[in-house]
Amino acid sequence: MAPLQITALTAERSALALPDLPWDAPLSRWPAEHLAALPRGISRHVVRFVRLADSVVAVKENTEELVRREYGLLRMLRRLDVPCVVPVAVVTGRADPDGEPLDPALVTQHLQFSLPYRALFSQSLRPDTATRLVDALAVLLVRLHLAGFYWGDVSLSNTLFRRDAGEFAAYLVDAETGELHQELSDGQRENDVEVARINIAGELMDLEAAEYLDESVDPIEVANSIVDRYHTLWEELTGQESFEQGERWRVQARIERLNELGFDVGELSISTDVGGAMVQIQPKVVDAGHHSRRLLRLTGIDAENNQARRLLNDMDSFIAASDRQNDDEEIVAHDWLAQVFDPVVRAIPRKMRRKLEPAEVFHEVLEHRWYRSEQAGRDIPLLEAARSYVEEVLAQRPDEQALILQTGLMDTGQMKAVGMDRDEAPLLGSTGPDGSDDADDPESDRIDGWLSSHG
Ligand SMILES: Nc1ncnc2c1ncn2[C@@H]1O[C@H](COP(=O)(O)OP(=O)(O)OP(=O)(O)O)[C@@H](O)[C@H]1O
Ligand SMILES: [Mg+2]
The verdict on 127 and 211 lying in the same domain is: yes
Structurally, the chain folds into a number of domains equal to 5
39 lines ligand 1 (CB under 6 A): no
The verdict on 46 and 147 lying in the same domain is: no
Q: What is the pLDDT of residue 180?
A: 95
CA distance 389 to 383: 10
The verdict on 129 and 226 lying in the same domain is: yes
Which of the listed residues 52, 117, 160, 415 should we mutate to test ligand 1's pocket, taking the one with most ligand atoms within 8 A of CB? 160
Q: Is residue 367 part of a domain?
A: yes
Measured by CA distance, the residue closest to atom 3 of ligand 1 is 110
- The residues placing their C-beta within 5 Å of ligand 2, an ion, are 43, 158, 174
Answer yes or no: is pLDDT of 442 > 80. Answer: no
Which of the listed residues 69, 113, 137, 158 should we mutate to test ligand 1's pocket, taking the one with most ligand atoms within 8 A of CB? 158
DSSP 189-241: HHHHHHHHHHHHHHHHHHHHHTT-B-TT--HHHHHHHHHHHHHHHHHHHH--E
Q: Which residues of 320-331 are buried (b: 16+ CB within 10 A; e: fewer)?
A: eeeeeeeeeeee
Measured by CA distance, the residue closest to atom 5 of ligand 1 is 110
Which pTM does this prediction carry?
0.74
Answer yes or no: is pLDDT of 271 > 90. Answer: no
Answer yes or no: is pLDDT of 48 > 90. Answer: yes
Which of the listed residues 151, 161, 174, 405 should we mutate to test ligand 1's pocket, taking the one with most ligand atoms within 8 A of CB? 174
How many C-alpha atoms does 363 have within 13 Å on its Cβ side? 20
Q: What is the pLDDT of residue 24?
A: 97
The verdict on 121 and 105 lying in the same domain is: no
Q: Is residue 366 part of a domain?
A: yes
Q: What is the pLDDT of residue 195?
A: 98
Range of the domain at 188: 117-238
Among 70, 91, 109, which residue terminates a domain? 109
Mean pLDDT, the chain, as a whole number? 81
The verdict on 225 and 246 lying in the same domain is: no
Find, among 99, 96, 105, 107, the residue nearest to 25 by Cα: 96
Using CA atoms of 31, 35, 40, 42 in order, give the dihedral in degrees to the nearest 10.
Answer: -20
The verdict on 124 and 227 lying in the same domain is: yes
Q: Work out which ligand 1 atom sits closest to the CA atom of 111.
A: 3
Helical H runs in 337-380? 342-346, 358-376
CA distance 67 to 170: 22
CA distance 243 to 407: 62
Q: How far is the CA of 103 from the centre of ligand 1 (A)?
A: 16
Query: Could you tell me the CATH number of the domain that includes residue 146?
Result: 1.10.510
Q: What is the pLDDT of residue 453?
A: 31
Helix (H) or strand (E) holding 253: helix 249-260
114 lines ligand 1 (CB under 6 A): yes
Choice between 122 and 140, residue whose per-residue pLDDT is larger: 140
Q: Work out which ligand 1 atom sits closest to the CA atom of 110.
A: 3
Q: How far is the CA of 174 from the centre of ligand 1 (A)?
A: 6
Answer yes or no: is pLDDT of 270 > 60. Answer: yes
Mean pLDDT value of segment 347-374: 89
CA distance 338 to 305: 21
Q: Is residue 228 part of a domain?
A: yes
The verdict on 94 and 199 lying in the same domain is: no
Q: Is residue 193 part of a domain?
A: yes
Query: Could you tell me the CATH number of the domain that includes residue 99?
Result: 3.30.200
CA distance 161 to 119: 10
Most confident of 12-26, 197-211, 341-355, 421-435: 197-211
Mean pLDDT value of segment 298-315: 87
* Residue 317 near residue 343 (C-beta atoms within 8 A): no
The verdict on 58 and 84 lying in the same domain is: yes
* Residue 272 near residue 244 (C-beta atoms within 8 A): no
Among 45, 75, 109, which residue terminates a domain? 109
CA distance 135 to 264: 19
Q: Is residue 315 part of a domain?
A: yes
CA distance 192 to 142: 10
